[in-house]
Amino acid sequence: MHRIRHFGLTVALMLASGCAEREVGVTADVSGLDVFWDVTEILQRDEEPSDSLWDAMWNTPGYALFERFERRRSTLTRAMRLAYKPSLRAEADSVLTQPGWVSFVLPHLREIPRLRDSLQIFRETFINSELMSEARTAAREYLPAGVTDRYPMPDVSFMYFIDARGYGERILMDPLHFMNIRNPLEVLAHEFHHYYRIQIEKPTRPFGSDMLAWRLSTVESEGIAGMLDKADVPGMSMEELFAKYPAGRRRDYFVEYQVEYRRSDERLSQVDDVFRRAGAHPDSAEALGRWIDGQLPDNGRILGAFMAATIEQQLGREQLADVVGNPFEFWRVYNDAAGRTDAPTLSEEALRAIAGIEAMYAEEGGR
């Protein structure tokens, strides 16, 4: 039976009339886990699940949302076949040597059946813990005052895919990911930040395939959220980094994160040049957007972390929180902060180009 569980968390909320407590209901959806195991057991017998069973998994709330935003059904389905079908073992081993998302997720998927009992215990413990309310409280640090009081706690879907996501509809959580990481509270707070940011983000028309607009946006959205779980990474020694991220591709990612963070001056110079060119030659904007998208690692979130840290250091956390959900203002406020230190600033031409993109996508009223 595929289930959705409800549980309550008592959260202390500061209300206008004073301090009060209220029960906040959180929906813990585990339906994706149930169908995942149905699919996995068939694959492990070297058989192919029916189309209707695959559909049942991808129609659960978490997997459906994952597919809607990231279009991962075909790649995750392939990865599950490679991970669990005995006849595909040699092909799976070959895939592990290749770049791409399937090779990234494959080792994670292979671990899940071996840890099934432990994951069940962990999931139940996690659901019944206070971590949700603690993450909500932590997320407030980088949100405008009162946002978490005005909007409900997000619903949560537990599912196996790789890590975690924070969408406006719900949060997606992989139990194995959270069982393995050393900082689950900070990572969950990061996803809570995304959920609440979406509730308050400045209305815009869809960006479509405009990579210049997308990079302006993701630098802000990921950069500020990263202050909750990655703010200490740039200054860590290798010993500290390896202790917090002990093995595998995640450790490698954070080693590269430090290297890229130290290149932020160079990246900002590239961005400035791109926006100056786009402003002067609008017909080149599409090509320039594709180029800068390829230049900025991890969708620009590392550059965003540098910019967010600069704003907080120079103008304070409240000023940084005030621009959450408004990527265009984030870039302008960064420029103000950078002008007070030796961090690189943007040219007037680049700022005008950013303002032009803002005007292009401006939308009256709400979404």
**pLDDT the model gives residue 6:** 43
* pLDDT (average), residues 178-197: 95
pLDDT band at 9 (very low <50, low <70, confident <90, very high): very low
pLDDT tens-digit profile of 297-345? 999 999 999 999 999 999 999 999 999 999 999 999 999 999 999 999 9
Q: Across residues 100-122, what is the average pLDDT?
A: 95
pLDDT on residue 363: 74
Q: What mean pLDDT, rounded, does the chain reach?
A: 91
pTM above 0.75, yes or no: yes
Give the pLDDT score at 25: 52
Average pLDDT estimate for 126-154: 93
**pLDDT at position 8:** 40
Q: What are phi and psi of 268, to 5 degrees?
A: -65, -35
Residue 285 has pLDDT above 90, yes or no: yes
